[in-house]
Structure 1
Amino acid sequence: MSQALTLARPYARAAFSLARDAGTLPAWSQALAFAARVAADPQVAAVLGHPKLSAADAVALLAPDGAGEAFGNFLGLLFDNRRLSLLPEIAGLYDELRFEAERVVKAKVTSAAALPAAELETIKAALRRRFGRDVEVEAAVDESLIGGAVIDAGDVVIDGSIKGKLGRLEAALSH
């Protein structure tokens, strides 16, 4: 995995540079996410590895409708360098660069039950105050948490779940 990230990093930086210069950061983010989802499909991965596949066919398969010529050229470069399998890593690294440039923190809030929109907004406001940046929140449900929530915002993880508290109590009692 770390080798894939190392190989993907220059491509993600190049994509970010192209998108930033053109003022199309969100569009490139969506196009890369689409291409990454398609490329990650096992059936598509088999087709992408076929020796008779042309660059034009690969671009047609991976580029979403409305993607610009620059995005198609980028996919063609990945095809020529046999790096289409890195699209999921490239998309992830690109989003990190984009969120850093836009001063946005991406946070995932995992709770034992679905949270109401008002509660998610309260969490978003608290995270905005803590980080001093805009916050993009993704909600998820994990019933194994029993209650409470876990907030994962990059390097910061706030575990307020009952499962987490029981785990910390168990660790404290065992030592």
Structure 2
Amino acid sequence: MSQFITLARPYARAAFGAAQDAQQLPAWSQALGFSAQIASEPQVAALLLNPQLTREQALMLLSPQGVDEAFTRFLGVLADARRLPLLPEIAALYEQLRAEAERIVLAKVTSASELPPGELDVIKAALAKRFGRQVDVTTEVDASLIGGAIIDAGDVVIDGSLKGKLARLQTALAG
């Protein structure tokens, strides 16, 4: 996985630079998200590795309707370099660059069960206060956490899950 990120990073930076120069950050975000979602489908991912897939076929498959020419050229560069399978990583790195430029913190809240909207708002407000920036929160449910939640905001991870507390208690008792 880290190899994919290393390979994807220069392409994500190039995409971000092109989008920023054209003042099209949201449009490129949508287009990359669309292309990445298609590229991550198992059948499409296998097809992208097929050497018989032509550049034009790949562009038809991955280009969203009505996208600007610069984005299509970007996909063409990826196709020529056989880097289309990296689209999910490129899109994720692009979103990180965009969030940084727009001073937004991307946070993921993984909880043992679905969070009520009011609780999610409280978490979002607390994170906004802590980071002094706008916070964009995505949620995920992982029943293996038993209870509580894990908040991942880039460099800051707050593990308030029951599973994490039990693991820390086990470590303390063993040591």
TM-score range (shorter-chain normalised) is over 0.9
Aligned length: 175
Structure 1 gaps, min length 5: none
Measure, in 2, the Cα distance between the counterparts of 1:51 and 1:58: 11
Question: What is the SS of the residue equivalent to 1:136?
Answer: strand
| Range 135-144 or range 39-48, more displaced | 39-48
TM-score by length of 2: 0.93
Match of 1:107 in 2: 107
Measure, in 2, the Cα distance between the counterparts of 1:149 and 1:156: 14
Match of 1:168 in 2: 168
Question: What is the SS of the residue equivalent to 2:168?
Answer: helix
| Range 20-29 or range 48-57, more displaced | 48-57
Shift of 1:69: 1.3
Structure 2 gaps, min length 5: none
1:26-175 superposed matches below 5 A: 26-175=26-175
Measure, in 2, the Cα distance between the counterparts of 1:22 and 1:110: 35
TM-score by length of 1: 0.93
Stretches of 4+ aligned residues off by more than 6 angstroms = none
Match of 2:15 in 1: 15
One-letter code aligned to 2:161: S
Shift of 1:41: 2.1
Measure, in 2, the Cα distance between the counterparts of 1:54 and 1:78: 12
One-letter code aligned to 2:57: D
Shift of 1:42: 2.6
Shift of 1:62: 0.3
| Range 133-142 or range 44-53, more displaced | 44-53
Measure, in 2, the Cα distance between the counterparts of 1:141 and 1:41: 22
Alignment RMSD? 1.4
